[in-house]
Structure 1
Amino acid sequence: MLYAMIAKDAPGALQKRLDTRPVHLDHLKSLGKKLVFAGALLNADEQPEGSIVVFEAETLAEAEALAAADPFVPAGVFASYEVKRWRIAINTTGVEF
């Protein structure tokens, strides 16, 4: 099953985001096939203002644990985040989930 973490950055968190990004990326890479895709939400100035991360997990609890383990969470980059069950409606990538 797929789950999406939708996160909004805390005001003024850009420097925290930049400082934490290397360990954040290492963490995402360590998830292997549990990570479907991830990326920053951008504002009108093309600056990060949040993130979307899609996990493959057996349960909501597992997906929530994966989200909570993201180094951006304890670093205070996110003002808020939520994890929701996500279903693909259209997939033009050719990748099956």
Structure 2
Amino acid sequence: MLFAFICKDKPGHLQLRLDTRPEHVAFLNGLNDAGTLKFAGPFLDDDGKPCGSLVVVEATDKAAATEISGNDPFAKAGLFESVEVQPWNWVFNNPASA
């Protein structure tokens, strides 16, 4: 089952994002290597600067997805103002269904 993490950064925390990014990227690479990560990337503000994240993972249930989300170095560093973990159905342009 797929889950989307919709993460909003705390205002004024761009430097924390930049400082924590190497650990975050390593975390996502590990999820990718395990086949868990489907895709990810930052939301951008009006100035083109990152202000949040969209991450989609495969997990057995919402509890497992929530645990993955909580292990993200960005979450552990206190970057996020909010995180939603939502079940998600990839209907269009899903390479697995091609």
Q: Provide the TM-score with structure 1 as the length reference.
A: 0.93
**Counterpart in the other structure of 1:25:** 25
CA shift at 1:89, angstroms? 2.5
Q: Deviations over 1:12-51 (max 9, x none)?
A: 1100000000000001111121000010000111001100
**Counterpart in the other structure of 1:13:** 13
2:51 to 42, 49, 52: 49
Unaligned runs of 5+ in 1: none
Measured on the aligned residues, the alpha-carbon RMSD in Å equals 1.1
1:79 to 78, 81, 88: 81
SS at match of 2:96: coil
Q: Provide the TM-score with structure 2 as the length reference.
A: 0.92
Aligned length: 95
2 CA distance for matches of 1:89 and 1:53?
16
Taking only the aligned residue pairs, the percentage that are identical comes to: 47
Counterpart residue type for residue 74 of structure 1: K
Unaligned runs of 5+ in 2: none
